Chain A
């Protein structure tokens, strides 16, 4: 009897479970508008111009062979914050805006140079936004960038973003630029952040871009536009061939935007991204082209891979840290235009030292540049931090101000592999 009673009680309670439910937060999947890209520009007054790029699932999933260009739509609203923007877009669109599938958040350079802290905070505290969303800065208007993306190879613009911004796994042309990293770097005192800088200028307008960005760093930036020219004796030929053949293709990556705290203070040109990747231990696959060991004017392309992390040795000298960086890379000779026999040890050694010199100059340039901005974008402060026992001591060092005074010794060690299935030799006839 007792058992029966408690059973009835349990049943009643179970029933009330369903009854008390108001189905809050229940949203039909097809009644939501999935935002895949958010762009923010400076608007009128205190407002921002927030652009929402919304995918059209019906078109994305249909079988017709459309490319991604027609599969999204954009809305731009003027609102002081993302939250207000959401409700404004809700009024514009027939469906409710959902931010859980945002793949790209892009700010205009202008906005970034003011201050981004408020925006980043609101993004990071938004539960629905993925912390690994890509954050980027656009040289021009973010709205235009979102409107004019050209996903040729895929029908879904979301997949386009995902694949595009994972390209640091394949090339040394872009770097990881995740929201959570950006947020951590802006709040920390031991490092500063560098995120992707995008440009939506067409390839014909490149000279314009270089002029603009030339203010920050003349020599480096001009080199990427003039294919084949060498800046310092040995230089890259193949590294700047990212322009596509198509007329409308954009130059997507234009280097990295450097932040001091949450303010953008400068940019790192694209050819120094590899140094950034090396110093942050994230070089997955990189290429470098150097002059041949024997024959002048001939080039050799080397595939680089970072198998060991960089070793940072920090010594404090009169409160100024001196940092020895040991970089260890593995290289594979992929192609060379010369007939030099790289199975020969001597030739190989010459080539290796060429590569090492090249990388060393790149890294040195990178450090010089970041020191000129006084931003520790590579996060070297994390290794400086290890030298201290307590947080207070480290805080006293004021690393984010000391960075420009720090001394760096760079040591590059490349382990070159010359192994191929077929050694192609053309004898000099």
Chain B
């Protein structure tokens, strides 16, 4: 167990849902417009199916270790050393994701809201809030997202009703976009929309009903991802989308209910900001908690502060928007499927092998 206490099913589902919002509002749609063109919605559907199958298999294998997190599994598979390595990889990945998200969001918030402010100011606001969130505790964060998630869903539904008249189904054609092989071979790997689902490997022991939670989380993420892609690629047409690095925001700018309610994008930005806080808080808290677990640290509060400062400093290093995008592409498109699917899969397989060996040698159940 990485942290104490049990999580309700909906707490997990909502948190994972809120975390999925981040890649959606940031550059995932733009990347997919680059890769798949007009077939992006088809890609979303296809990658959902692929991710669903992959995670289904993965969770089936994992179900033996329901009350263990991935670090424990690594320990079973390869002893203490593998546990350390796994822990460090996860920490590194979480921190990188936090840094990229912070600097990307920082840049976007500056463009959207504070074009006159120095970007350090926005970073500071972000990091202080996140630190407060970390200090309050993970339980609060998970629960806070249960309140946020319904508003997200309401937001999506509201968007849907406002944008339905502008959805042009011809935007989904040509059906296969930039090529069939690109879509079905390249698309199978690009399942980073579901990266937050991998958090389940870390919180598995805290969940009462793992299978149900995993299934529902998947559907929640799929709902967010598919509806977002449907709206973005239904309303905006392909070539102009490739130039747009914040398409979801542009989409909210189009929302209007009559003459009175227009330009309500700030309300959505408010929701996304809270989701970002949740995302960053979870990233930083988990990195510290994993370090705490593998190195048996007792008082982790000071490490939270240090982690926040590290993230702040690194995000200051990464200031050029082009660099951020490149980095984002490498990490979340190319690296994350390796880390969220392939690596756990290897660990679980190894653990299974070890287990069956042990079972043969000594006839008692491993703990």
Query: A–B direct touch, CB within 8 Å, in complex?
Result: yes
Task: Point out residues on A near B: beta carbons under 8 Å.
Answer: 6, 9-10, 13-14, 16-17, 20-22, 24-25, 100, 127, 130-132, 162, 166, 180, 183-184, 187-190, 382-383, 385-386, 388-394
B87-121 contacts to A (CB < 8 Å)? 111-118, 121
Kindly state the separation between the CA atoms of A183 and B168 in the bound complex, as whole angstroms. 16
- Distance in angstroms from A400 CB to nearest chain B CB is 12
- Distance in angstroms from B55 CB to nearest chain A CB is 29
CB-defined contacts of B124 to chain A, threshold 8 Å: 20
- Distance in angstroms from A167 CB to nearest chain B CB is 13
| A14 nearest in chain B by CB position | B132
Q: Is the CB of A390 within 8 A of B135?
A: no
| A385 nearest in chain B by CB position | B173
Name the contact of A10 in the complex, choosing from B136, B176, B250, B262 (C-beta under 8 A). B136
Kindly state the separation between the CA atoms of A393 and B236 in the bound complex, as whole angstroms. 21
CB-defined contacts of A388 to chain B, threshold 8 Å: 173-174
Q: Is the CB of B114 within 8 A of A25?
A: yes
Q: Is the CB of A131 within 8 A of B301?
A: no
- Distance in angstroms from B87 CB to nearest chain A CB is 25
Q: Is the CB of B239 within 8 A of A386?
A: no
Kindly state the separation between the CA atoms of A268 and B169 in the bound complex, as whole angstroms. 27
| B124 nearest in chain A by CB position | A20
Contacts A25-B116, A131-B250, A180-B254 hold; do A382 and B168 have CB atoms under 8 A apart?
Answer: yes
Q: Is the CB of B115 within 8 A of A25?
A: yes
7 A–B pairs (Cβ distance < 8 Å), ordered by A: A24-B117, A24-B121, A131-B253, A131-B254, A132-B254, A187-B240, A385-B173
* B320 close to chain A: CB less than 8 A: no
Q: Is the CB of B128 within 8 A of A385?
A: no
Task: Point out residues on B near A: beta carbons under 8 Å.
Answer: 37-38, 111-118, 121, 124-125, 128-129, 131-132, 135-136, 168, 170-171, 173-180, 236-240, 243, 250, 253-254, 256, 259, 262-263, 301
Kindly state the separation between the CA atoms of A130 and B128 in the bound complex, as whole angstroms. 33
| A15 nearest in chain B by CB position | B128
CB-defined contacts of B37 to chain A, threshold 8 Å: 391
Contacts A10-B135, A25-B113, A184-B240 hold; do A20 and B121 have CB atoms under 8 A apart?
Answer: yes
Kindly state the separation between the CA atoms of A385 and B238 in the bound complex, as whole angstroms. 12
CB-defined contacts of A382 to chain B, threshold 8 Å: 168, 170-171, 173
CB-defined contacts of A385 to chain B, threshold 8 Å: 170, 173-174
CB-defined contacts of B168 to chain A, threshold 8 Å: 382
| A383 nearest in chain B by CB position | B170
Q: Is the CB of A162 within 8 A of B259?
A: yes
Contacts A127-B111, A130-B263, A382-B170 hold; do A25 and B117 have CB atoms under 8 A apart?
Answer: yes
- Distance in angstroms from B270 CB to nearest chain A CB is 16
Q: Is the CB of A391 within 8 A of B262?
A: no
- Distance in angstroms from A2 CB to nearest chain B CB is 9
| B256 nearest in chain A by CB position | A132
Q: Is the CB of B175 within 8 A of A389?
A: yes
Contacts A22-B121, A127-B111, A382-B168 hold; do A9 and B135 have CB atoms under 8 A apart?
Answer: yes
Contacts A10-B136, A184-B240 hold; do A386 and B112 have CB atoms under 8 A apart?
Answer: no
Q: Is the CB of B254 within 8 A of A187?
A: no
Name the contact of B179 in the complex, choosing from A6, A22, A386, A390 (C-beta under 8 A). A390
CB-defined contacts of B262 to chain A, threshold 8 Å: 130, 132
Q: Is the CB of B240 within 8 A of A391?
A: no
Name the contact of B240 in the complex, choosing from A6, A183, A383 (C-beta under 8 A). A183
CB-defined contacts of B112 to chain A, threshold 8 Å: 127
Q: Is the CB of B236 within 8 A of A184?
A: yes
Given pairs A130-B262, A184-B236, A394-B174, 9 additional interface contacts (CB within 8 A): A10-B132, A20-B125, A25-B113, A131-B254, A386-B173, A386-B174, A388-B173, A390-B177, A391-B37
CB-defined contacts of A162 to chain B, threshold 8 Å: 259
> Counting chain B CB atoms within 10 Å of each CB, which of A180, A390, A393 scores highest?
A390
Name the contact of B176 in the complex, choosing from A24, A25, A130, A390 (C-beta under 8 A). A390
CB-defined contacts of B243 to chain A, threshold 8 Å: 187
| B175 nearest in chain A by CB position | A389
Q: Is the CB of A389 within 8 A of B121?
A: no
> Counting chain B CB atoms within 10 Å of each CB, which of A6, A190, A382, A385 scores highest?
A385
CB-defined contacts of A20 to chain B, threshold 8 Å: 121, 124-125, 128
| B129 nearest in chain A by CB position | A17
Contacts A390-B180, A392-B178 hold; do A189 and B132 have CB atoms under 8 A apart?
Answer: no
CB-defined contacts of B253 to chain A, threshold 8 Å: 130-131
CB-defined contacts of A166 to chain B, threshold 8 Å: 259
- Distance in angstroms from B230 CB to nearest chain A CB is 17
CB-defined contacts of B177 to chain A, threshold 8 Å: 390-391
Kindly state the separation between the CA atoms of A131 and B125 in the bound complex, as whole angstroms. 29
Q: Is the CB of B238 within 8 A of A13?
A: no
